[in-house]
Amino acid sequence: MSLLYFDEWRDTRATIRYIAQIMGKCCLTVKQPELLYKHVMLTVNQVGLSTGVLKKDNHEFEITLDLLDQLLVVKVDGKEETIIVKSGRTIKEYYDFVFDTLLDNDIEIKINTKPYHIPYEKTLDKDDKERTFNPKTAYHALRLMQQAQYDHYQFLHSRNIKDVKTGLFWDKFDVTSIFYVEGNHEYTVSLCYYFGDKYRESPYYVIKINPFKQDKINLKQVEPSYAEYNGKDGSFLIYEEDLESIIRRDEMLLTFFNSAYQALLSGVSSKLSHHEK
């Protein structure tokens, strides 16, 4: 699958990201808190992004950003209302649609309207700048999100990791799988797929353990040799463009995840159970 480089979809990406923030903030407000902030993650499904079913004021509702049919959908108690996602609309229009629809159905929600991790001039409810949305590019992004989830599942299944959640963390806009290190809930592992940024044009995969322990990490055991190590946060990184031309791409990515995971575990081995060692 061809890649999306940062500059290729900067504007459409921004539109999707702002809408995802509206959706994610609803999850943050309504859902019961979970460890590792799993409750705020958006589900990546067959058509786009979803909050999943939320409950408020004796009603059930769900918000979906359908990237196939270019729709923002609010479903309340089985009834759907939609707005077309297209170039020329503003974030304020999407915000008003979501919260007016909810209020019309006797659901009142208040969110923090300041975007997280995005420079902004106006809050979500007042952002009246006309935005860009390219349907073809949006679909391409969805396919990459789905591929990232598949890649994560391959690693998780290979190690029989079950207590894990995968989805879109809408604040930094990355597809993430997050779980505890087996035998020790002091440490969490994150597999992340980032879409690139102004510093890294190419999408890339990251694996890291928190809290970071640098001692005893064996960098030489990580494959392939062109994988990068970030000593600031103890993460390993591999660019999607370096995998694109490899015939056995999936096998190489799985090798990267497994070897990097073992290297990271070596840095916290003194804290882990005998089984995990």
How would DSSP label each residue in 77-113?
TTEEEEEE--TT-BHHHHHHHHHHHHHHTT-------
Pairwise CA distance, residues 80 & 268, whole Å: 49
- 102-106, 183-187, 260-264: lowest mean pLDDT where? 183-187
Residue 133 has a CB neighbour count (10 Å cut-off) of 20
126-130, 143-147, 213-217, 248-252 — which is least confidently predicted?
213-217
DSSP H or E run through 158: helix 135-158
What the block records as the tokens of 205 is: 């995969």
Cα–Cα nearest to 85, from 101, 76, 75, 98: 98
Closest CA to 53 of 39, 67, 66: 39
Nearest to 190 by CA among 131, 141, 245, 230: 230
In 3D space, the residue among 197, 40, 30 whose CA is nearest the CA of residue 118 turns out to be 197
- Of 201, 200, 204, nearest to 191 by C-alpha is 204
Q: What are the backbone dihedrals phi and psi of residue 98, each rounded to the nearest 5 degrees, phi first?
A: -60, -50
Axis crossing angle, helix 91-104 with helix 10-30, rounded to the nearest 10:
30
Rounded Cα distance, 226 and 242, in Å: 8
Going from N- to C-terminal start, the domains of the chain cover 6-133, 136-271
Q: What does the pLDDT read at residue 271? A: 54
Length of the chain: 277
Mean pLDDT, the chain, integer: 92
* 268 vs 117, residue with greater confidence: 117
The pLDDT score that the predictor gives to residue 272 is 53
**Other Cβ atoms closer than 10 A to 265:** 22
The whole-number average pLDDT for the span 22-42 is 94
pLDDT at residue 270 tops 60 = no
The answer to whether residue 35 scores a pLDDT higher than 50 is yes
**54-85: per-residue pLDDT in tens?**
999 999 999 999 999 999 999 999 999 999 99
Percent residues over pLDDT 70 in the chain: 95
Would you state the pLDDT for residue 2? 87
Q: How confident is the model at residue 244 (pLDDT cuts 50, 70, 90)?
A: confident
Q: What mean pLDDT do residues 262-266 have?
A: 88
Say which residue the tokens 């990097």 belong to: 260
pLDDT tens per residue, range 97-122: 999 999 999 999 999 999 999 989 99
The helix/strand count (H/E) of the chain reads as: 5, 12
Q: Report the predicted TM-score, pTM, of the whole model to 2 decimal places.
A: 0.93
Query: Looking at per-residue confidence, does 42 or 273 come out higher?
Result: 42
83 or 273, greater pLDDT: 83
pLDDT at residue 277, rounded to an integer: 39
The pLDDT, as a whole number, for residue 213 is 66
pLDDT tens track for 126-175: 999 999 999 999 999 999 999 999 999 999 999 999 889 999 999 999 99
